[in-house]
Structure 1
């Protein structure tokens, strides 16, 4: 679904398995609580939230609980495209969807190109939760902001079945020294999966690959 709508309701559409939303909507469902919107998708297996949807939800003050009362128990693939990771609202929604998706296996997050340093206080992330089925994570457009590092730390600490995390650095990130600092800090994060492989690369496809063993340079 793409475009601009005055109202969006998915009530009665309980058989949807794949859904992609890239639209601006001034009113979601019949409530401002996200749980009312996402609870209409009990069978969704793949969910993509892109671009305009973030501004629409923030504009409409669409509030997110810590966890949806009715989880997305069949969700296997979750994609966030153009998400402003410097905003409390979008981070809150991202975490809520993760906590509400116990069967999630694949996660793709592409940060907004307009990422900026936030003046808001850092959001509190509970890194004691478990994402038991999450095996593959792709992060794109990472510029090294504190909120992004906080998210990476959370995902590594909570994904007990993680096989690979791929991080593509934004062209907005500074020179070699800043990139080295990013890799050094990332290496210090605890991982719930002892076999997790983390790949850090730039858009030029030069990359640094590392696990708990020494760093490989390619």
Structure 2
């Protein structure tokens, strides 16, 4: 009896130890590269906030040493999330929660965002080296000569709420431009219903 209980207990512990691993995530803290940042927005989503007045030159075609990024840039611009990781075979690996350390081989990081002041868009793609890292991070080792392709283009469909999609109509008040929600319609709807049912009685 003791032997079978011990065997069961040791099997459960061994299984738990083998199936659980430390938690890694791509972004766990705000990161700055030049004047660009990755930080959480008011909804808690990790977003890319670019500055178009940085030393990272914009390259509309990702040519020359950046030609490796042309296909992944095109793929990223068709995705609905503003920050994504891709494999060398251009498979979507995940978004901001993807742990770079877990993937063997080349991993691309692409991020799109909108500059607050001008409303202009910027998308960058690079080879991801580690979590909590993008661009030419100041003080980080191994970033000398890192190739980053940056273009002044944004995505036409963005579902994570990080920025206004290309071609969307923004309200001048600075709201997210999401249009009317059911909550916005509730007070007038209730007034109409109360008037309607009040007239029936």
TM-score with structure 2 setting the length: 0.26
**Which is greater in Rg?**
2
Higher strand share: 1
Say which structure, 1 or 2, has more relative contact order (CA 8 Å, 6+ apart): 2
TM-score with structure 1 setting the length: 0.25
